[in-house]
């Protein structure tokens, strides 16, 4: 499943997409350890699979919570994307 967490508002679309089919195969849950803002958690989804999700309290403000990882003049690989070796994560902005 592609789970899009985030929102869109007048300033744009701010979604983190998690391909949860890949999470099922994931042993180390690198996203949880890699994110300095502690935005990821591992949940048991509706199909009884252990998958990554963005914590509820971050979903409406990810643009701001991810801000420190996304300086405007330089865009290194995001820690969460680097930490997810299976390539399950994408950001829309």
Residues that bind another protein (CB under 8 A): 1-5, 7-11, 13, 15, 45-47, 59-60
Contact 53, 5 (CB under 8 A): yes
> Residue 66: which of 34, 44, 20, 21 has the closest Cα?
34
Residue 25: exposed, middle, or buried by beta-carbon count in 10 A (0-12, 13-18, 19+)?
exposed
Examine residue 14 and tell whether it contacts ligand SF4 (CB under 6 A): no
Examine residue 53 and tell whether it contacts ligand SF4 (CB under 6 A): no
Nearest distance from residue 45's CB to another protein, in Å?
8
Closer residue to another protein in complex, CB, 19/78: 19
């Amino acid at each position: 499943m592609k789970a899009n967490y985030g929102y869109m508002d007048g300033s744009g679309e701010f979604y983190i997409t998690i391909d949860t089919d890949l999470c099922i195969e994931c042993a180390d849950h690198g996203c949880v350890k890699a994110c300095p803002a502690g935005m990821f958690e591992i949940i048991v989804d509706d199909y009884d699979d252990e998958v990554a999700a963005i914590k509820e309290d971050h979903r409406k403000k990810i643009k701001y919570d991810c801000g420190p990882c996304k300086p405007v003049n330089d865009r290194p690989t995001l820690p969460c994307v680097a930490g997810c070796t299976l390539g399950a994560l994408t950001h829309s902005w």
